[in-house]
Amino acid sequence: MATPGFRPTHVVPQHGMPAWEAPDPARPTVALDPLLPVQLVERRGDWGHVRCANGWSAWVDGRFLVAVPPDPPAADGPLARTADPRPLLARAEQTLGDYRAAVEALASGGLDGEAFQARTRGRRVGVVVDGESVWLYDAQHGRWVYADGTRLSTFATDEAPPAAAADHAPTQVVTPDGP
């Protein structure tokens, strides 16, 4: 039976992972199954407190959880004019090509380490392609965007959260019976 309000934020890595009753290596519990959807509800350093769809929760090494991206924009919503992904793809291709040329020059002795650093300083590129979906890093705007081939939508930004967000209490696990 699924817990009301459960929405996975991560999945367990493909080989499963150990779990603990508390953020304490001396208190192991049942390992989590590979690719199990979980909801990260609290972080304490490298520890992550996760909740499963059935309400069971455990502590894991949060560094190894695989993030689930939010759903891309719904195709059945109203059509809106959105940015064309092709210019961003062209910039990513150009940046990667420039970096590769610098690597080739370094490997062939045409550049020394200092010249390589100077030539590549400030270059940033990020691309993840998964079938028809692509996540691109937009260095001009400091953000990751999602594209489905025809439109872009912001996925994450480089901007830090507002300072007021740091003042809130740690996230608590809430179950139907209380915290």
CA distance 86 to 72: 18
74 inside domain: no
Q: For residue 71, what pLDDT band results from cuts at 50, 70 and 90?
A: low
What is the phi/psi pair of residue 143, to 5°? -155, 155
Q: Which domain holds residue 140?
A: 86-157
95/132 same-domain check: yes
Tokens 């689930």 label which residue? 68
147/112 same-domain check: yes
14/48 same-domain check: yes
| pLDDT score at 79 | 43
CA distance 137 to 74: 21
110 inside domain: yes
| pLDDT score at 85 | 84
Q: What is the mean pLDDT of residues 83-106?
A: 90
5 inside domain: no
95/145 same-domain check: yes
Q: pLDDT tens for residues 137-177?
A: 888 877 777 777 777 777 666 665 444 444 444 544 444 44
> Residue 146: CB partners within 8 Å, gap ≥ 6?
69, 72, 133, 134, 135, 152, 153, 154, 155
90/151 same-domain check: yes
Q: pLDDT tens for residues 58-69?
A: 999 999 998 887
Read off the amino acid at residue 81.
R
CATH number, position 56? 2.30.30.40
Number of domains in the chain: 2
CA distance 139 to 151: 18
Q: What is the mean pLDDT of residues 99-103?
A: 93
Q: pLDDT tens for residues 22-34?
A: 998 898 999 999 8
29/56 same-domain check: yes
149/97 same-domain check: yes
In the predicted model, what is the mean pLDDT of the chain?
Answer: 79
102/130 same-domain check: yes
138 inside domain: yes
Contact, 20 vs 36, CB < 8 A? no
90/62 same-domain check: no
Q: pLDDT tens for residues 106-136?
A: 999 999 999 999 999 988 888 877 777 787 8
169 inside domain: no
More confident site: 128 or 13: 13
175 inside domain: no
150 inside domain: yes
